[in-house]
Chains A and B, each alone.
Chain A
C-alpha cells in the first residue's frame, strides 16, 4: 500500500535517533546533578523527566509515517547513549528503548498512521512510559516498595506530557522551518484535499 522507505527516510530516522541520543545524554547530565541534590528522593526526580526519553519515536513517526520508524529511532538513540556516550544503565537500555518505541508506536499504528492529533500523541507517550515501567520495576525490584504507585503515576504522566505533547510541539516547529518538505508529513497533507 505504502511506497517503500526512501533513502531520505532512512537517513532522517537515523539522524533523529542520533540527535535525540545526544540530547538525552545532555538531559542525563542535568538529571544526575538533580538526583544527587535531591538525596533520598533522587530516584524519584528521574521519573519526572522520564517522558523526555520517549520524544524521538512520535517525532519520527509523524514525519516519515513509516511503520517501525519510531522503534528504530528510539533504539538508535539508546544505542548512542550506550555505545558512544556511556549510560549507567548499560546495554539493557536497548531493551528498554525497544519497549518504549513499541509503546509509543502502537497508537499511531492503530490509526494506520493517519491521525496526528494532540490525543494520539498523549496516548503514545503514556503508553511508551507504561510499557517500560514494568521492565524497570522488575529490574530495580520496585514491587512491594512504598513508592510503587507514585512511581507508576509519575512516569505515565511524564510520558504523556514530555514524551507525547511536547513531541507535537517539536514536530510543528520543525515543519514550519521547511526542512520537512520532502517527507510524508508535508506530502500527504498536500495530497489529501481538506475534508469538512
Chain B
C-alpha cells in the first residue's frame, strides 16, 4: 500500500462498485469475494481478526437485505414464516444482494483504513486537477472529522447535564436535545471553517501558481498491481460461476 499511488486502489474500488452493481450471479460474486479477500490478506497484510470484524460490521445490513427480499418476490414458495411466504427466487436474489454488500463494503472499509489522507489529497491535486483551495479545505475537514465523534459526545453530555430527569433519575435528552446537539455541531463547525478559510487566504492558498513539496507519481508498480487485481477478479468470478453453475 505504501508503494502504490493512493489513487490506484481508490480507482479499483470504484470500478468494483460499478461492475458489481450489475451482477446478481451468486457464484460469480462468491468467486470475486474470495479473490478480493486473498488480495487483502496477501497484498495489504490484513489479519484474520480484522477481516472478521469488517464482515460483522456489515452483517446486520446484509441480513436485513436477505429477509426483505426473501418474502417480497415472486417464485416457488419454499417456506412459510407467519404471514410471509419465502420464495426460492426471493431467497436467491436476497443472498446475492447480501453477498454484493460484502464484496463492495469490506474491501472499501479496509483499504480506506490504510490510506494516508494527505497522500490521497496530494495525489488528487496532482492527477485529478483538484484545486489547492479545495484540496486543503478537504484536508482540514478531515481533521475536523477525526475529532467529531468526541465533540458529538461532548455536546450530548452537556445536554444531559441540563436535561430533566425521568422517574428513574436518569437524564432524558429527547429529540429536542439531540436537535440542539446537532445545531451545536453545525455552528461550531461553521465557525471553525470560517477561521480556517481566513487562515488559508492569508497564506495565499488561492494563488494562481504554486509549487508542491510532496509528489505522488504513478509508477509501473501501479499498472502491474491494477492489472493483476483486475485479471484475478475476472478469472475468479468466471471460474466459480462456471464451476457451481449459474446460481
Chain A positions within 8 Å of B, measured between CB atoms, are: 6-8, 10-19, 21-23, 26, 32-33, 35-36, 39-44, 76, 80, 82-84, 86-92, 94-95, 138-141, 144-147, 170, 173-174, 177, 179-180, 182
Contacts and interface: CB of A to CB of B under 8 A. Distances in A.
A43 B64 contact: yes
A11 B137 contact: yes
Among A13, A90, A92, A140, max chain B CB count under 10 A is at A90
Interface stretch (B27-35, B40-48, B65-73, B237-245): B65-73
A42 B74 CA distance: 19
A41 B183 CA distance: 32
Q: Nearest 3 CB-CB pairs, A to B?
A: A90-B104, A43-B68, A91-B17
A19 B191 CA distance: 13
Interface size class of B (residues with CB under 8 A): 35 or more
13 contacts: A7-B133, A7-B206, A8-B193, A10-B134, A10-B197, A17-B141, A32-B64, A40-B72, A82-B108, A83-B115, A89-B101, A145-B73, A146-B73
B14 A91 contact: yes
B137 A86 contact: no
Given A11-B193, A15-B192, 20 more contacts: A7-B198, A8-B198, A10-B197, A11-B196, A15-B144, A17-B141, A18-B142, A22-B185, A23-B185, A26-B152, A36-B60, A40-B70, A83-B108, A87-B105, A90-B104, A94-B14, A146-B73, A147-B72, A170-B186, A182-B194
Nearest to A92: B17
A144 B191 CA distance: 49
A91 B65 contact: no
Contacts of A83: 108, 112, 115
Contacts, number: 165
B76 interface: no
B225 interface: no
**A17, A40, A89, A179 — which one has the most chain B CB atoms within 10 A of its CB?**
A40
B189 interface: yes
A140 B97 CA distance: 7
Nearest to A141: B93
A135 B223 CA distance: 31
A174 B67 contact: no
B205 to A, nearest CB: 7
A88 B115 CA distance: 19
A93 to B, nearest CB: 8
